Amino acid sequence: MKSVKSFALLVAAAFFMNASFAQNMDKTVEVGGAAMYPSKNIVQNAVNSKDHTTLVAAVKAAGLVETLETPGPFTVFAPTNAAFDMLPKGTVETLLKPENKAMLTTILTYHVVAGKLDAKELSRLIKAGNGKAQLKTVAGGTLWASMKGNKIMLTDEKGGMATVTIKNVYQSNGVIHVIDHVVLPRS
């Protein structure tokens, strides 16, 4: 009887240790009311965020789902639905039309940088650049990262600015930083 109790305690301890280990290995951040799991890729997580339905629709329309499911790694600056709503009326609808797929793809890939640049790495690059880091986007354009207080700011090629509102949303294939404005490449 004593060995059965000991065995049961050992099994219970192993279960709780494994559960605790798994929880620590899979730290989540909540974005748009949904948990973002580091074990999932960018697309698998983004589709669950209520704040990123416009971005997900645009990624699908541009045919970028498969790309963002690859191992990467990628750093994605993800505008919220509210950020897309700040664009001139009708812009999103126009971009989602099949005949505008190339323009949509350019805008979306302008929000992506190759590599995994978390906030610590971005801060290091900003410091090394004397207050400004130049980031080459997958679209071939440039974004500039800087700090305003403790917030990471992005400046696009048109002089527009976005603030990182949620940083370090780790993914299996990179990292997402939620931003409050759509950044735009030079036309």
The tens-digit pLDDT sequence of the chain (187 residues) is: 555 444 444 434 444 434 333 333 457 888 888 788 888 888 888 888 898 989 989 999 998 888 888 888 999 999 999 999 999 999 999 999 999 999 999 999 999 999 999 999 999 999 999 999 999 999 999 999 999 999 999 999 999 999 999 999 999 999 999 999 999 999 7
Give the Cα separation of 98 and 54 in Å (integer).
16
What tokens were used for 173?
């294939």
Q: Name the residue among 135, 136, 131, 133 with its Cα closest to residue 148.
A: 131
Q: How many helices (H) and strands (E) does the chain have?
A: 8, 9
Longest CA span, the chain:
77
CATH number of 2-179: 2.30.180.10
pTM (two decimals): 0.83
